Amino acid sequence: MRPVIPYVTAALLFGLGVYGVLRRRNAVLVLMSVELMLNAVNLILITADTTVRAALPQTGQVFALFVIVIAAAEVGVGLAIVLQLYRLRATVAVDDVPLEKVDA
């Protein structure tokens, strides 16, 4: 087993996610980028699980399950907030409207 490949892949995925957060104006896409970062972590956890002499076996896989569940909850909340904002503003761009000007 060569753990280098999944590790590098995971790092690339994480970087891609960070890049997405920084470059995307669409809130949904920013959200997806964050999910990408979390999935990169999942990949690391599962890879580590097979390579590290863990105190308890298979813990990494279990962690990944936790992360998936939390990520799902996060998406639920996030989409609710984005949807709200879309209704109010009819746009989901994160930096279209400066905060102070809409002080209504």
Partner 1 sequence: MHDTVEYAHASGLLSSVWLLIAIPLASAAILLLLGKRADKWGHWLGVASVGVSFVLGLTYFFQLRGLDNRAVELSLFDYIEVGSLHVDFGLLFDPLSAVFVLLITGVGSLIHLYAVGYMEHDAGRRRFFGYFNLFVAAMLLLVLGNNFVMLYIGWEGVGLASYLLISFWVERPSAATAGKKAFLMNRVGDAGFAIAIFLMFAQLGTTQYDEVFNGIGAVASGTVLIMGLLLLLGATGKSGQFPLQAWLPDAMEGPTPVSALIHAATMVTAGVYLIARSNPIFTANETLQTVVVSVGALTLLIGCIIGCAKDDIKRVLAWSTVSQIGYMFLGVGLGGAAYALAIVHLLAHGFFKAGLFLGAGSVMHGMHDQTDIRRFGGLWRYMRITWATFGLAWLAIIGLPPLSGFFSKEPIIVAAYEREGWTAWLFGTAALIGAGVTAFYMTRLFVLTFHGPKRWTEDIDHPHESPPVMTVPLVLLAVGSVAAGGLMASSVPDWLVPALGDHSGEEVHAVMSHGLITALSIVVTLLGAGLAYALFRNGTALQEQPAGPVVTAARRNLYADAFNEAVFEKPGIFLTRALVFLDNRGIDGLVNGLAAAVGGGSSRLRRLQTGFVRSYAMSMLTGALLVVAAFLALQLGWLA
Partner 2 sequence: MEDLSLPKIDYAAVAPMLILFGVACVGVLFEGVLPKAARRVTQLVLALLGLVAALSVIVWQSDTRVLTAGGAVAIDGPTLFLQGAIIVLGIMALLLIGDRAMEHGGAFVAQAAITVGSEADRKQAVKEQGATEVYPLTVFAIAGMLLFVAANDLLTMFVALEVFSLPLYLLCALARRRRLLSQEAALKYFLLGAYASAFFLFGVALVYGFAGGVEFGTIHDSVTESTQSTVLLYAGLAMIAIGLLFKAAAAPFHVWTPDVYQGAPTPITGLMAACTKVAAFGGLLRVLYVGFDGVAWDYTPILGVVAVLTMLIGAVLAVTQTDIKRLLAYSSIANAGYLLVGVLALSKDGLSSTMFYLVAYGFTVIAAFGVVTLVRDADGEATHLSRWAGLGRRSPLYAGIFTFILLAFAGIPLTSGFIAKFAVFGAALDSGEAWLVVFGVVTSMLLAFPYLRVVVMMWLSEPGESTPTVSIPGGLTAAALVIGVVATLVLGVAPAPLLDLTTSAADFVR
Footprint on this chain of partner 1 (rule: CB under 8 A):
18, 21-25, 30, 94-95, 98-101
Q: List, in sequence order, every residue forming a beta bridge with 26; answer none if it has no partner.
A: 93
Question: Closest distance between partner 2 and the C-beta of residue 44, in Å?
Answer: 4
Binding positions for partner 2, rule: CB under 8 A: 14, 17, 21, 27, 30-31, 34, 37-38, 40-41, 44-45, 48, 51-56, 59-60, 63, 66-67, 70, 73-74, 77-78, 80-82, 84-85, 87-89, 94, 97, 99, 102-104
